Structure 1
Amino acid sequence: MSENGSVENLIQEKWKDELCPGVNGVLFSDGELILMECVLLMHERGAQVRVRPLARSTLRSALEFNENLWAFITELASYSWAEGNIRLSCGEGSMGSDGYVAAVRISDDRLVWAAFFDCSNPFEEIKVVNGEVVVVSTYGHRWSFPIEHPERVMVQS
């Protein structure tokens, strides 16, 4: 088995066990990991979240530094987008402020990508709008992920 193949298999095994990397970022099925900055700002009008890409890395590299970076996730909502052969999933992590969003191929039930954020709060609604995955957090924030480039996420508070 190739080195990439073993990472890809590990990702799929962990996904089936309801685990994803507990780091702010987007993990792709080939092991690419885009690290994201996620900042929660509290002010008089309420909470605001800012998110932006920081760097490209790999799951293999992240695991070299922390073998226990996996976080348990729980699905709170899903949406089947037959046109794109994608089942979308969103929910929470094990900490109260964690949230995740994921895309899984309907045809073979394999993870395409998963985004995890430790300051988003759980995501409780999900749908597709104009080719983008749109989720709503328990803060009431609307997050829009382009399906092909989820790292280009935009947040509306």
Structure 2
Amino acid sequence: MKNKIMLEHWLNEELIGINSLQKSNGEIIVLNCYNVTNKNNPLYYSFPLCETTIESLEKFNPDIWTTFEVLSNRIEINNEYIVFDGEGGMGNEGFIACTDSSNNFLWALFFTDSNPFYKIEFNNNEIYAYSSNSLLYKVNLTNPEIIAIEQKEWK
């Protein structure tokens, strides 16, 4: 079932401005995103932390929404999904989103420290989203909470 609050904000080009996977049914999976430097080699991680709802988040902070702007190409996958990415309201934020083939919102990932995403590709059921700070986010299309992050230059 679609969540009215989520869909209203999506149509106004707004997402919840915290590290999270946001689903059309109003379910929010909060993500723990961090990096560790090991011998000058930073490693990046993003893992599910907990589940909550839009209503629960708004109960404690009604100002959780931020604008977004699409910056990348759009990829159509198997005539079933459309995937794209871009930036949040601040220069350090980025998002990756998926709609159905009729452009109905399915889910979005929002990151507060990814920087904007400018390029997107699809390979073996994974979305490859390239951020402006030379990071590649590999996201499982059908289980988008499964994320691998690596350093990767792109052109």
TM-score w.r.t. length of structure 2: 0.88
Match of 1:33 among 24, 28, 34: 28
The equivalent of 2:112 in structure 1 is 118
Q: Percent identity?
A: 26
Displacement after TM superposition at 1:83 (Å): 0.4
Show the 5 A alignment for 1:1-157: 8-41=3-36, 45=40, 48-107=43-102, 109-157=103-151
CA distance in structure 2 between the aligned counterparts of 1:134 and 1:123, rounded to whole angstroms: 10
More helix by share: 1
Cα offsets for 1:82-104 (capped at 9, x unmatched): 40511112011111110100001
CA contact (8 A) 2:75 2:120 kept: no
Displacement after TM superposition at 1:53 (Å): 1.1
Structure 1 segments of 4+ aligned residues over 4 angstroms from their partners: 40-48
CA distance in structure 2 between the aligned counterparts of 1:150 and 1:43, rounded to whole angstroms: 27
Q: How many residues align?
A: 151
CA contact (8 A) 1:81 1:128 kept: no
CA distance in structure 1 between the aligned counterparts of 2:79 and 2:96, rounded to whole angstroms: 16
CA distance in structure 2 between the aligned counterparts of 1:77 and 1:14, rounded to whole angstroms: 20
Sort the Cα spacing of 1:11 and 1:78 in 2 relative to 1 into closer, same or farther, 3 A. farther
SS of 1:78's partner is coil
Displacement after TM superposition at 1:79 (Å): 2.1
SS of 2:72's partner is strand
Displacement after TM superposition at 1:20 (Å): 0.4
CA distance in structure 2 between the aligned counterparts of 1:44 and 1:15, rounded to whole angstroms: 41
CA distance in structure 1 between the aligned counterparts of 2:76 and 2:14, rounded to whole angstroms: 23
| 5+ residue gaps, structure 2 | none
CA distance in structure 2 between the aligned counterparts of 1:56 and 1:90, rounded to whole angstroms: 23
